């Protein structure tokens, strides 16, 4: 319920806007982040800060985290100065894309201390975090999910995926594989058209009016690729991580990922040539370079 005291670890590009919405909704926040500048805007609005995940876990019963990699999630949850070392915390909500393996490891580790882990990865990017329009995928005990739902609906649309740890993470990986694939194949199609002399803006308009429309043609090309701003708001290296986690899960389940493997390879090339922190829409630059053309409005 609003006015409840929550903890939030990781208040950067995604976590910051989500934490801000919780403040707007009346929740009281205690926050933790290794970057002081990330915490400053929230502290100015009344959030308290603590020095470590363990200290946060001494102060509040419910902690949300938004972190970049599975390794960081594991350290924050289970490390020597992690949430597991706290004395008050009861619920650990992971909003990150950390994969089903990490979700299971964290859940098993925290359960020993009487802490329930909730995987609740989100989709919708920085814009969705700011507007409260994220898709929030949740797996945890059903009763706990119902209790957390009003708080999570401050962030976006609530989807209960299942009760087993990792189920929501699997859902998120499937979503991100589709998002990456849409961008990869749309890049190839649009570059081909430009090489043949077509206007890329007209191509996008036609595709979005027809059966080829997808998240890349509807959002990423008009907003970040055609204007050449490449600022959609998600790092190439992080999307590469997500696709790698998806392929690892598929392999563990015995599911072939032929197209997914090709997308992973194109992302690996993008990461190597454009940089880990480059916007993932720069994927089109790799195809442009090979074709010798540029997609520009």
Domains in the chain with CATH codes: 5-164 (3.40.50.720), 170-291 (1.10.1040.10)
With pLDDT > 90 as the criterion, what percentage of the chain qualifies?
A: 98
Q: How confident is the model at residue 4 (pLDDT cuts 50, 70, 90)?
A: confident
Q: How far is Cα 11 from Cα 277, in angstroms, rounded to an integer?
A: 18
pLDDT, tens digit, 9 for 90 and up, residues 193-218: 999 999 999 999 999 999 999 999 99
- The stretch 81-89 carries a mean pLDDT of 97
**Residue-level pLDDT at 210:** 97
Buried b or exposed e, range 48-72, using 16+ CB within 10 angstroms? bbbebbbbbbbbbebbbbbbbbbeb
The answer on pLDDT for 36 being more than 80 is yes
What are the tokens at 179? Answer: 């998002």
**Residue-level pLDDT at 1:** 58
Active site residues: 172
């Amino acid at each position: 319920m609003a006015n409840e005291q929550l903890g939030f670890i990781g208040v950067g590009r995604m976590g910051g806007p989500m934490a801000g919405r919780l403040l707007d909704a009346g929740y009281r926040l205690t926050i933790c982040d290794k970057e002081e500048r990330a915490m400053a805007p929230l502290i100015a609005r009344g959030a308290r800060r603590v020095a470590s995940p363990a200290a946060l876990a001494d102060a509040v019963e419910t902690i949300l985290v938004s972190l970049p990699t599975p390794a960081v999630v594991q350290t924050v949850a289970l490390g020597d100065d992690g949430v597991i070392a706290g004395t008050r915390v009861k619920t650990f909500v992971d909003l990150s894309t950390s994969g089903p393996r990490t979700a299971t490891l964290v859940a098993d580790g925290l359960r020993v201390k009487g802490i329930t882990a909730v995987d609740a990865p989100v989709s919708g990017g920085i814009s969705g975090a700011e507007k409260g329009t994220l898709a929030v995928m949740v797996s945890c005990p059903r009763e706990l999910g119902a209790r957390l739902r009003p708080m999570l609906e401050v962030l976006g649309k609530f989807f209960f995926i299942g009760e087993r740890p990792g189920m929501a993470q699997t859902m998120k990986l499937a979503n991100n594989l589709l998002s990456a694939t849409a961008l990869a194949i749309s890049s190839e199609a649009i570059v081909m058209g430009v090489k043949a002399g077509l206007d890329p803006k007209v191509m996008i308009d036609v595709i979005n009016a027809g059966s080829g429309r997808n998240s890349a043609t509807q959002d990423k090309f008009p907003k970040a690729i055609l204007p050449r701003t490449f600022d959609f708001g998600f790092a190439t290296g992080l999307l590469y991580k997500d696709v790698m986690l998806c392929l690892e899960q598929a392999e563990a389940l015995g599911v072939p990922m032929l197209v997914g493997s090709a997308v992973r390879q194109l992302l690996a090339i993008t990461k190597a040539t454009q940089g880990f922190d480059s916007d993932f829409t720069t994927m089109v630059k790799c195809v442009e370079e090979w074709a010798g053309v540029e997609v520009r409005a």
